[in-house]
Structures are given as structure tokens and as C-alpha cells.
Amino acid sequence: MAEFRKLCRLLMMAMVIIGSAKGANGRRYVVGADQGWDTGFNYSEWTSGKAFFVGDSLYFDYFREDHNVVQVDFEGFTTCNITNSIATYTAGRSTVELDREGTFYFVCSLGDHCLEGQRLQVSVLAKPAIPPSPDFLGPSSALNQNVPSSAASLSFAFCFLQFNSFISPPVLVLVIGWFSYLLL
């Protein structure tokens, strides 16, 4: 019994962490999918057919020795000139929140990578009142965000029904609040 409770706690903690990590609200797009952020890839092809909304995020995966991610304006994007850069990411794994409507521009500033096509333009739309259906977004558009939510609610319901006595009321309120936030 005690072991089971421990397992439940761990499970719920894991779900909370996963939920927070994915930002609870938006979709996380892995730029370039399996190819990541690299030369020799057509990023306008990658974005075509995808709909990006405020609250979504871009995840750039690249070798930090070979590439970087520089957010620029339209001018910088078209000319591959990063003089007026907005932000620079060099960690190898970089997440950029799409926190406003409008167009975001990214280039790699190393070598001739930008001129060779390592540049990305993403148009971000206001968050729709009703979440877009998966069909509209296309099958490969995003990591599945419903799995953690459903798994979280299931495990929560299970643990709650079985062992609600181990959760103190203030914690319970917090947990329920958090799950409502996650699921709405």
C-alpha cells in the first residue's frame, strides 16, 4: 500500500513536470522535424501547411559548434545580415516562445548557412477561441500535446480515488487548480 502511494506521488509529480515543461497551453514544434536546424533543408517547405499560434514554441535542435539561431527582422532575413539581430541562441537546443502575433525570422549566422537556405520564417496567428483540430494542423505538425494531459488526468483520477486521504486539502486545491488549468 505504501509503495503504491509512493508510486502515485511520483507519477503525479512527473505529470506536473511534463505539464509545466510543455508550457501547458501551446504546441511545441521541432524545427525541421528529424532534420533539425541544419543546412540542406527547405524550411519554407517545412512551415507550409502548418498553422502557428501565439503560445506555441519552436524548438531548434543543432550542433552548437556548427550552427546557431539568430532572430532577425525581415530585412535581416532577406539579406542574411544579422547586424540588427533581436536575439541569439547558441546552446544547441533552443526553445523560442512565439509570444505575439506576426512574423518571426530566424537565420543561422555561421558560414554561408543563411544564404544556403538555413533560415526560417514563421507567421504566428492569434490563438483561436476553439483549439484547431488535429486534421487542420496536419499529422506531423506538432508533438502530441494531448497525451500528457489525458495521462495526467487519468493518473490523477486514479490516485485521487484510491488514496485521497494522503493529499492534504491545500495541496488538493492546488493540484485540482493546476489540472483544470492544464486541461482547459
Ligand X SMILES: *[C@@H]1O[C@H](CO)[C@@H](O)[C@H](O)[C@H]1NC(C)=O
Interface pick for ligand X out of 1, 3, 65, 83 (rule CB under 6 A): 83
Length of the chain as a residue count: 184
Residue at 15: amino acid letter:
M
Smallest separation, CB 52 to ligand X (Å): 17
Using CB under 6 A as the binding rule, whether residue 168 contacts ligand X is answered as: no
Interface pick for ligand X out of 23, 36, 55, 117 (rule CB under 6 A): 117
How many Cβ atoms are within 10 Å of 180's Cβ, its own excluded?
Answer: 9
Of residues 39 and 81, the one with the C-beta less far from ligand X = 81
Interface pick for ligand X out of 34, 45, 65, 135 (rule CB under 6 A): 45
Distance, in Å, from the CA atom of 97 to the CA atom of 78, rounded to the nearest integer, reads 22
Smallest separation, CB 72 to ligand X (Å): 10
Using CB under 6 A as the binding rule, whether residue 34 contacts ligand X is answered as: no
- The span of 27-35, 80-88, 142-150, 171-179 binding ligand X (CB under 6 A) equals 80-88
Using CB under 6 A as the binding rule, whether residue 164 contacts ligand X is answered as: no
Using CB under 6 A as the binding rule, whether residue 81 contacts ligand X is answered as: yes
Cα distances from 109 to residues 106, 119, 140, 148, in angstroms, run 9, 9, 28, 36
Smallest separation, CB 102 to ligand X (Å): 20
Interface pick for ligand X out of 44, 103, 123, 150 (rule CB under 6 A): 44
Binding site for ligand X (CB under 6 A): 42, 44-45, 48, 81, 83-84, 117
